[in-house]
A and B are shown apart, each in its own frame.
Chain A
Amino acid sequence: SQTIHQWPATLVQPVGSPLSLECTVEGTSNPNLYWYRQAAGRGLQLLFYSVGIGQISSEVPQNLSASRPQDRQFILSSKKLLLSDSGFYLCAWSVSGYYEQYFGPGTRLTVT
């Protein structure tokens, strides 16, 4: 069966510090991978998606970047965090060409 992992589960970082969130998927090959952010009281916002290694599409211009160094690894980064980067970050995967997206457990990021 397929599983998706995210870490860390929670993170508190000062403004201006770097960020690295990691997502890995097990039990499938060549998945589509997604990064979402969920701000308090808001719907999920798609940040990045990837259909293959090294292929990243950005949906929203922002202070964040994403990379996919391996088939089942997706990383969300920032060089300098802003207060507005606080939120709940979710990674998801889907089988290429299929509707369903499966979400990870999420990372709660608080920028102070």
Chain B
Amino acid sequence: KNQVEQSPQSLIILEGKNCTLQCNYTVSPFSNLRWYKQDTGRGPVSLTIMTFSENTKSNGRYTATLDADTKQSSLHITASQLSDSASYICVVSAEGFQKLVFGTGTRLLVSP
């Protein structure tokens, strides 16, 4: 069964600190992996997309890694800001872009 699992479910960090969010997937055949940021009550916004051949991709203070052998990905946030408070969703694509498998997300709270 195609699944995406994220950990931790929730996380609280102090402003300025770094954090790493984890994503494990069992989706096959793998096409690409995406990380989205979703503010409360808003639609998700894409942070990164990685294909099988990419093992790291950065978007500002966000850096995603992918290990296709172990089927794991991580999202590292550097020097966190209050505006980073949101849910971060890992999404894996199988069989093309019409078939996306969503994780339940990690809810991050950055406190002052």
Q: Which stretch, B13-21, B42-50, B70-78, touches the partner chain A?
A: B42-50
- Least CB distance from A4 to B in Å reads 8
Q: Is B104 touching A42 in the complex (CB atoms < 8 A)?
A: yes
Contact partners of B103 in chain A: CB under 8 A: 43
What is the bound-complex CA distance between A49 and B102, given in angstroms? Answer: 16
- Which residues of the other chain, B, contact A24 by a CB distance below 8 angstroms? none
C-beta contact mask, B59-89 vs A, less than 8 Å → 1, else 0?
0000000000000000000000000000001
Contact (A46, B100) CB under 8 Å given A100-B46, A103-B43, A106-B41: yes
Q: Are B104 and A43 in contact (CB under 8 A)?
A: yes
| Interfacial chain B residues near A90, Cβ < 8 Å | 43-44
B24 neighbours in A (Cβ, 8 Å): none
Q: How many inter-chain contacts with C-beta < 8 Å in the A-B complex? A: 50
Q: Is the interface of A mostly helix, strand, loop or mixed?
A: strand
A103-B44 contact, Cβ under 8 Å, with A43-B102, A44-B102: yes
A99 and B93 in contact, given A105-B42, A106-B41 (Cβ under 8 angstroms): yes
In the complex, are the beta carbons of B41 and A101 less than 8 A apart? no
Please, how many residues of chain A have a CB less than 8 angstroms from a CB on the other chain?
Answer: 25
Asked if A43 and B97 make an inter-chain contact with CB atoms under 8 angstroms apart, the answer reads no
- Do most interface residues of chain B lie in helix, strand or loop, or is the interface mixed? strand
Question: Are the C-beta atoms of B97 and A32 separated by less than 8 Å?
Answer: yes
Distance between Cα atoms of A51 and B89 in the complex (Å): 25
- Chain B residues near A61 (CB-CB < 8 A): none
Q: How far is the CA of A30 from the CA of B83 in the complex (A)?
A: 34
Does any Cβ of B come within 8 Å of A41's Cβ?
yes
Q: Name A62-112 residues within 8 Å CB distance of B.
A: 88, 90, 92, 94, 97-106, 108
Taking A94-B97, A99-B31 as known contacts, 10 extra A-B pairs with beta carbons closer than 8 A to each other, sorted by chain A number, are A32-B98, A41-B104, A43-B105, A44-B102, A97-B97, A99-B97, A103-B43, A104-B43, A105-B43, A108-B41
Q: Jot down 8 A-B pairs with beta carbons below 8 A, ordered by A.
A: A32-B98, A44-B102, A46-B99, A51-B98, A92-B43, A103-B45, A106-B43, A108-B41
Closest 3 CB pairs of A and B: A103-B43, A43-B102, A44-B102
